Amino acid sequence: MKLSVILVSHQAKNSLRLALNALYKSNSAVEFEVIIVDNASDDRTFEMLQQSFPQVRIVTNPVFEGYSRAYNKAIRASKGTYVLLLSPDMMIKNDSIEKLCRFMDQHPLAGGSSVRMVDYNGDYLPESRYGLPAAWSTLLKFSGMGNYFPRSFSKQKGRGDWVKEFETSEADTLHPDCMLLRRSALEKTGWFDERFKSFGYNIDMAYRLRLSGFKTYYFSKTYLMQLPGKRLNKFSWTYISNFYGAMFIFATKYLFKLPVIRLKDIGEIYPSQYEVE
């Protein structure tokens, strides 16, 4: 199996339906499977999938487990050489799967890649290339870790975006809405760190891939369209605790370990949490 496409859905039945329709209508020559993790939805997502998409494999969580754990469950059950993690509000283009897989085939050191994204009006989303939220940038800068994310702190970052939008290049992070990961890289670095429940898991994964000697990329030769989604309540306790809690976990995880991390030790520091079937 060349590719496993994984979507984690929580209360996103309608956008998930659109995303799957676009995926199956892409007529890709790449063989792929689709695994959906229904993360404790009560909007009849499971019934919709059974009726409209009987070919997908469904993993149901009775309680919301966060994205890292949900992705790990699906990755463990998947069979693809590559794993494409998609948000349910992302609509894929006809040629996206083939171009992404071809890019990874041609770059054997690529551990993961994100892709150019546009909104439903067709406007470029710069965060698809520059994936660090402002608060994370501040944390990394003042903690002294900014040097480990050189492309995110470039002085030229905000200039010439109309050109950089179409430039495929290495990137410091992977966007959580679209991550294509190499299975062999995951087997070396380990799965997602489940302490990152809803935020930061993509930043942590990209950083570990680069520590392991792999590269992470922004791929610009195709694009995905982001549908309008629900706005997060950034003043809720759930958001605050998960977002800033992830920053705390990341800082404490690495700040005191940076001087002793060696590439040959990665397998011992980050053992796989699951055996791959």
In contact, 6 and 37? CB cutoff 8 Å: yes
- Sequence length of the chain is 277
Q: For position 45, which CATH number holds?
A: 3.90.550.10
pLDDT of residue 154: 57
Which of 31, 18, 34, 114 is closest to 74 using CA atoms? 34
The segments of the chain whose pLDDT lies below 70 read 153-163, 229-235, 256-277
- What sign results for the dihedral spanned by CA atoms 244, 11, 89, 227? negative
Q: Which residues are CB-contacts of 191 (< 8 A; sequence separation ≥ 6)? A: 71, 72, 75, 76, 272, 273, 274
Which residues are 219's β-sheet partners? 115
Q: Would 82 be classed as within a structural domain?
A: yes
- Would strands 57-61 and 32-39 be described as parallel, antiparallel, or unpaired? parallel
pLDDT of residue 260: 36
Q: Would 274 be classed as within a structural domain?
A: no
How many structural domains does the chain have? 1
Number of other residues whose CB lies within 10 A of the CB of residue 225: 19
Q: Any alpha helices (H) in the chain, and if so which ranges? A: 13-24, 45-52, 67-77, 96-106, 134-142, 161-164, 183-189, 201-211, 237-254, 266-269
Q: Would 276 be classed as within a structural domain?
A: no
Q: Would 275 be classed as within a structural domain?
A: no
Q: Would 81 be classed as within a structural domain?
A: yes
Which residues are 85's β-sheet partners? 6, 179
pLDDT of residue 152: 78
- Report how far residue 251's alpha carbon sits from residue 13's, in angstroms, rounded to the nearest whole number: 35
Question: Domain residues for 205?
Answer: 3-269
Q: Would 107 be classed as within a structural domain?
A: yes
pLDDT of residue 256: 66
